[in-house]
Amino acid sequence: MLAQGQGTIGVSATLVRGGTSKCWLFDVADIHGRGASTEEVLLAAFGARDHNQIDGVGGATSTTSKAAIVAHSYEPGVDIDYTFAQVGVGVERVEWGSNCGNCATAVGLYAVQSGLVRPRGDRTRVRMRNTNSAARIDAVVATPGARFRPTGDAVVPGVSSPGVPVGLEFLNPVGGRLLPTGRAVDTLEASGARARATLVDAGAPAALVDAASLGLTGAESVPEFAERLPGLLGLRRAAAIGMGLSTPDGPVSHAVPKLGLVGPATDYTTTGGARITAGEFDVSVRMASMHAPHPVIGLTSMVAVAAAATVPGSTVRAHAPAKSGEIRIGTAAGVVSASLSLARDGGLTGVTLHRSARVIARADIFVPAAREPAAAR
C-alpha cells in the first residue's frame, strides 16, 4: 500500500498468468477497508468504464479482466479461500457468480510465492476453497528442492510461453447427481434435428453430443464449428430442460449448460498449424461457451468430459475408457490431459488438470478514489 497524494489510493496486487488467463490477485488485507468497496476498487483499478480499459490495469478482454481476492482460510483442512471476480469491460459491473479454473491455477502459484503456503518438497499442495461456488480445489505447485520457482517448463495449449507446472485437482466434482436424467445417453430433439448426448453435471453442467449422430466428427476447425453452432442451440435448450436447468417456456442461461461435440481421435491440424496424430490423444472435443466456440476448452468443461469418461455407455466412454486413470482431449488448440481419481466402486472422487502458471508482475496500483463514500461490500 502506498500513499500517492490526494484522490488516489495505492493497492498492492500481483499479476499472474494461470493457464490461458491473466488474473490480478489481491491479498484481502490490501483491498478491504480502503475507504471504498472491493467492487469500487476493482472497477477503478481495471478502468472498467472504458471498453478498452485504457485508464487501468485491465486487458479489455474476458480472459484478461479477471481478479481474485485471496485470504488465509479458517476452515480446517483448507489453506486458502479465494473469491473470483470477472471485472466488466466497458461496463462498471463485477460478476461474482462463478469460479474460474485458470485463476485457481494462478492463486495456487501466488499462495506459494507470497508465503501464505510454505513450500514442502518438490511439489507443494495448496488446499483452496472457492467462495463463489464453495468448490474445493487443490493446486499442486512444482517447488523443486522445496523452493518457490517463478517459472518452469510446463506449456499448455493456447500459450506459447512456458510456466510453472501446476496440477489443479477438483475434489468430489460431482455436486449433485452426475447424470441428472439418470441415463448415460439421452436423445435430444429440436426443430427436426436429433442427436445422442450424455448430460453430465460435474465441474459444470454439460451436454456432450455424439458428433457422429449429427454427421460431424468432433474434430471440426473453430470456423467450421462456429458455422454449425447456431443450428445446435435448439439441442442445447432441450438439454437444459432435460437437466432441470430451465423449463419449456423459461430462458436458458448463456453460461450453462456447456455444449460440446465428442468424437473419436483422428489426425488433425490445430488452429496454430501444428499437426496432431490420432495416437496422441483419446477423444476429440469441441466445446461452445456463451454461444461461441471455445478456442481450447474451459477447465470446468474438462472436468465434465473427464467425469463422462467414467460412465459406461456415455458418448465419451466409447473413445476414452476412464480406467487408465488419464484422459487426453484433442481440442482445436491442441491436446490437454486430465487425471482421474476413482473410488473402488468406480465413482469419481477427483479430476486433476495439468496446467501452467507464471508470476508476471508485482505492482502497486494507483486507484482514483471515488468522489463520494460508498457502502463497503
**In whole angstroms, how close is the CB of 359 to a second copy at the nearest point?**
5
Number of residues counted as binding a second copy (CB under 8 A): 46
**In whole angstroms, how close is the CB of 203 to a second copy at the nearest point?**
22
Does position 116 bind a second copy by CB under 8 A? no
x/- site string to a second copy, residues 324 to 363, per CB under 8 A?
----------------------------------xxxxxx
CB 322 within 8 A of CB 340: yes
Task: Report the residue number, 208 or 299, with the smaller CB distance to a second copy.
Answer: 299
Does position 15 bind a second copy by CB under 8 A? yes
Residue from 60, 71, 171, 233 in contact with a second copy (CB under 8 A) = 60
Q: Is the peptide bond before 257 cis (omega within 30 degrees of 0)?
A: yes
Task: Report the residue number, 17 or 136, with the smaller CB distance to a second copy.
Answer: 17
Residue corresponding to grid cell 453430465: 200
Query: Where does this chain touch a second copy (CB under 8 A) — which range of 141-149, 165-173, 181-189, 301-309?
Result: 141-149
Task: Report the residue number, 103 or 327, with the smaller CB distance to a second copy.
Answer: 103
Q: Which cell numbers hold the place of 124?
A: 507443494
**In whole angstroms, how close is the CB of 192 to a second copy at the nearest point?**
39
Query: Where does this chain touch a second copy (CB under 8 A) — which range of 33-41, 61-69, 237-245, 300-308?
Result: 61-69
Residue from 114, 151, 181, 266 in contact with a second copy (CB under 8 A) = 151
Does position 161 bind a second copy by CB under 8 A? yes
Three-class SS state of 342: strand
User: How far apart (Å, rounded) are the C-alpha atoms in residues 81 and 153?
Assistant: 28
User: How far apart (Å, rounded) are the C-alpha atoms in residues 329 and 270?
Assistant: 13
In this structure, the number of other CB atoms found within 10 A of the CB of residue 145 comes to: 8
Does position 50 bind a second copy by CB under 8 A? yes
Does position 376 bind a second copy by CB under 8 A? no
Residue from 147, 177, 194, 291 in contact with a second copy (CB under 8 A) = 147
**In whole angstroms, how close is the CB of 7 to a second copy at the nearest point?**
5
Residue corresponding to grid cell 454449425: 228
Q: Which cell numbers hold the place of 254?
A: 448463456
Pseudo-torsion of CA 19, 314, 328, 99, nearest 10°?
A: 10
Does position 49 bind a second copy by CB under 8 A? yes
CB 184 within 8 A of CB 198: yes
DSSP labels, 102-133: HHHHHHHHHHHHTTSS---SSEEEEEEEETTT
Residue from 78, 159, 193, 278 in contact with a second copy (CB under 8 A) = 159
CB 166 within 8 A of CB 357: yes
Q: Dihedral sign, CA of 30, 31, 32, 33? A: positive
Does position 108 bind a second copy by CB under 8 A? no
Q: Which of 259, 274, 271, 296 is nearest to 63 (CA)?
A: 296
Query: Where does this chain touch a second copy (CB under 8 A) — which range of 150-158, 210-218, 220-228, 308-316?
Result: 150-158
Name every residue whose Cβ is closer than 8 Å to that of residue 76 and which is 6 or more positions away in sequence: none
User: How far apart (Å, rounded) are the C-alpha atoms in residues 281 and 223?
Assistant: 22
**In whole angstroms, how close is the CB of 5 to a second copy at the nearest point?**
5
DSSP summary character for residue 257: S
Residue from 163, 167, 260, 334 in contact with a second copy (CB under 8 A) = 163
Residue corresponding to grid cell 486430465: 338
**In whole angstroms, how close is the CB of 132 to a second copy at the nearest point?**
23
Query: Where does this chain touch a second copy (CB under 8 A) — which range of 49-57, 70-78, 187-195, 318-326?
Result: 49-57
Residue ranges that bind a second copy, judged by CB under 8 A: 2, 4-8, 15, 17, 20-22, 47, 49-50, 52-57, 59-61, 63-64, 147-151, 158-163, 358-366, 368
